[in-house]
Structure 1
Amino acid sequence: MLNIADALRRWYGEARTFALATVVGVQGSAPLPLGTSMAVDVDGQAVGSISGGCVEGAVYDLCQHLLDEGGPAQRARFGYSDDDAFAVGLTCGGELDVLVQRIDPAAFPHLDDALAAVDDARPTAIAQVVDGPEDLLGRMLYVGGEDTHPSVLPDTLSRQMTAQAQALLFAGRTALVEIGGDAVTCPETLSVLVHVHASRPRMLIFGAVDFAAALSRAGRFLGYRVTVCDARPVFTTRARFPDADEVVVDWPHRYLGQTPVDARTAVCVLTHDTKFDIPLLREALSLPVGYVGAMGSRRTHDHRMRLLREASVPEHQLVRLHSPIGLDLGASSPEETAISVVAEILAARNQTTGLPLSDLTGPIHAAWPKNSTLVGSGTP
């Protein structure tokens, strides 16, 4: 639905009821991805496309029927017709599952908040129940809002939907996930489509060393947009770091001071050289990034901390430094060290202990946080 956020927000401003049709399943070859939507308002105006033209007419009719007759959200499947390639179907040979639901702005007030966040280019995720019990079909949860509103979903489902939405928001990708399926949460399995508007989080690796090559692979696997930066051009080459999205030759502190960062950014300092480390860490610890780690022995760490204090870095910033970098996994090779580092980044991001789950009690997943908002009941 985020592909037509501008039009939907305009309709919200006019308190205009509309039907929303969203691609919630793709099998084989299909022209448009999961989460793509079209919408039809009460006057018959249509925006967006879900198949590049193949099945728009049939979906338009479904939308108009739902607007005229009312009723709960419903799913429909469209596929290739062997008898007539020009019949209602996908001539590309794939299949689409489409969820069609009626949206009354008064019944879905917080969807407008989500659309406003998209318009403001703020990271936003909308978790939408696209398969499951009829009374839950079409319900949506907004992650990223500043307000907290009571949920009409069971708390366990709200927590699971939020956890999945936050993980995908962090990774910057839209995806279909499954939750429920047990007596504690929900006897039936729910399919939830998480619509995400966000860039990938950044991992900034400073130091063109073997550990940086392994860490860039691990970071990319986790969905980061990885940058490797070093001031030495002979070592800082694309050939040495094929998994990095960017390879930059520049003084680390100068590059960091000029590149965009946010609370999801991980800064990993692997340089082992005080002429790079100290100005770089002084800059990094002053920025609103999510993680700052520096490689080195404990002796190196003690020496580095002394130099940072001499450089007037305040104590409240120094406590943010993860040094020596990584968790205690007994890592020695670059690949093992990369796992150790990304494990610590995940623990820091999620504010968890990093301890074995077998040593802990209580829920495995974090509780439902305050920046999640239920945006609709799924029925008019």
Structure 2
Amino acid sequence: MLDIADELNRWVRQGRDFAVATVVAVGGSAPRQPGAALAVDGEGAATGSVSGGCVEGAVYDLCRQALEDGGTVVERFGYNDEDAFAVGLTCGGTIDILVTPVRGGVFPAALAAAASGEAAALVRIADGPEELRGAALLVRPDGSYEGGLGGHLALDRTAAAEARALLDAGRTGTVEIGADGSRCGQPLTLLVECSVPAPRMLVFGAIDFADALTRVGAFLGYRVTVCDARPVFATRARFPDADEIVVEWPHRYLKAEADAGRLDSRTVLCVLTHDAKFDVPLLELALGLPVAYVGAMGSRRTHLDRDERLREAGVTDRELARLRSPIGLDLGGRTPEETALSIGAEIVAHRRGGSGVALTGAHTPIHKDPPAQPAEAGRVAVR
């Protein structure tokens, strides 16, 4: 439900009663991932989506029912080959939906945090004893929490620790623990929805391609910074869609941001300067940082020359293997907008594990889940 926090936070401030249906589990080729939500208020207004349209009508009715009787339910929707007209997912997957009325508790605080861009995790019991289902806990980045899951104090503590781990990674997913907070006993499935500040996109080089890329980056949900050492080019008039414009040598700015801890594993760096005096010191630093993506613009000739200069500067082959250059996917584009689209497409493919090839004729899954981190494998399902 935190994915529609802006609208729901307005509903809370307006004093409107509403119920929320949230995806808590998916199987097969489901269109939405855990955390996706549809909300319905007392007047019948709706916001959000849980399936891209397949089962919205049935879920809408469940929300209206929850508002009437105050109950919490979990409903599974899937495709039925024997009855193709039944409510289900035409894609063939399954989704489990948690439907609950939202009336006080920790929900207003969770929605306010998400709407303001603060880091917070909302934990709810998605599967377990009926009397506990839908109970909620709000967890902050420092591990403090409020609310409760209706069970043992140890359950709240364990849930808060699990939620904090997912919050640190900026991920939403499910966790299985025992009802008493241990790994034993009757199992509970917890949905942990994480709200984190928007990931950053740093665009180096104040050129026309950068203007198009700032728009694509904003569309993809990034907080975009444009950096260039030339004040005549790095202006608000040229980059009205950028969240921040910085006049500084790129490598100096990147080092300052890294030293200040303002980069993380979701940060993407797009180097569009294709000028060795800017590129080499910048990429020498960038390729050693634990960021999500580093791409550099230039022709294949420029790429080969840049690789040689980076090796001379001491960049290892392993570090060079991280560099996406020439930047972007092969879409055949020429305009700044087409180029920006190819860069954005490569960033999404890199983030989601996509191949970048056409889906027509392919036999790979359309939706891919990123592999679990080693510490999380077998324990947490993430998106």
Question: The TM-score by the shorter chain falls in which range?
Answer: 0.5 to 0.7
C-alpha separation between the residues in 2 aligned to 1:361 and 1:334? 32
Q: Which residue of 1 aligns with 2:310?
A: 308
Larger Rg: 1
Q: Which residue of 2 aligns with 1:244?
A: 242
Cα distance, 1:284–1:126 mapped onto 2, change above 3 Å: closer
C-alpha separation between the residues in 2 aligned to 1:49 and 1:351? 34
1:300 Cα deviation (Å)? Answer: 0.8
Q: Aligned to 2:327, which of 316, 325, 328?
A: 325
Cα distance, 1:239–1:359 mapped onto 2, change above 3 Å: same
C-alpha separation between the residues in 1 aligned to 2:274 and 2:335? 17
Cα distance, 1:238–1:288 mapped onto 2, change above 3 Å: same
Q: Which residue of 2 aligns with 1:218?
A: 216
Q: Which residue of 2 aligns with 1:180?
A: none
How many residues matched? 251
Instruction: Give percent identity, aligned residues only.
Output: 49
Task: Give the match's secondary structure for 1:233.
Answer: coil
Q: Which residue of 1 aligns with 2:338?
A: 336
Matched, 1:39 2:105: yes
Q: Which residue of 1 aligns with 2:228?
A: 230
Cα distance, 1:36–1:246 mapped onto 2, change above 3 Å: farther
1:49 Cα deviation (Å)? Answer: 6.3
Q: Could you tell me whether the CA contact under 8 Å between 2:266 and 2:292 is conserved in 1?
A: yes
Q: Aligned to 1:113, which of 161, 168, 172?
A: 161
1:351 Cα deviation (Å)? Answer: 2.3
Cα distance, 1:39–1:275 mapped onto 2, change above 3 Å: same
Matched, 1:277 2:275: no
Please, what TM-score do these two structures have when normalized by structure 2?
Answer: 0.56
1:366 Cα deviation (Å)? Answer: 2.1
Matched, 1:104 2:164: no
C-alpha separation between the residues in 2 aligned to 1:197 and 1:26? 21
Q: Could you tell me whether the CA contact under 8 Å between 2:297 and 2:326 is conserved in 1?
A: yes
Cα distance, 1:250–1:330 mapped onto 2, change above 3 Å: same
Unpaired runs of 5+ residues, structure 2, are 3-16, 21-38, 49-100, 113-129, 136-146, 177-182
Please, what TM-score do these two structures have when normalized by structure 1?
Answer: 0.56
Q: Could you tell me whether the CA contact under 8 Å between 1:271 and 1:295 is conserved in 2?
A: yes
1:104 aligned partner, one-letter code: G
C-alpha RMSD over aligned residues = 4.2
Q: How does 1:140-151 map to 2 (within 5 A)?
A: 141-142=174-175
1:221 Cα deviation (Å)? Answer: 0.4
Q: Could you tell me whether the CA contact under 8 Å between 2:18 and 2:42 is conserved in 1?
A: no
Cα distance, 1:365–1:338 mapped onto 2, change above 3 Å: same
C-alpha separation between the residues in 2 aligned to 1:221 and 1:37? 32
C-alpha separation between the residues in 1 aligned to 2:362 and 2:175? 30
Q: How does 1:109-258 map to 2 (within 5 A)?
A: 111-117=159-165, 122-126=168-172, 141-142=174-175, 195-258=193-256
1:37 Cα deviation (Å)? Answer: 7.5
Cα distance, 1:236–1:360 mapped onto 2, change above 3 Å: same
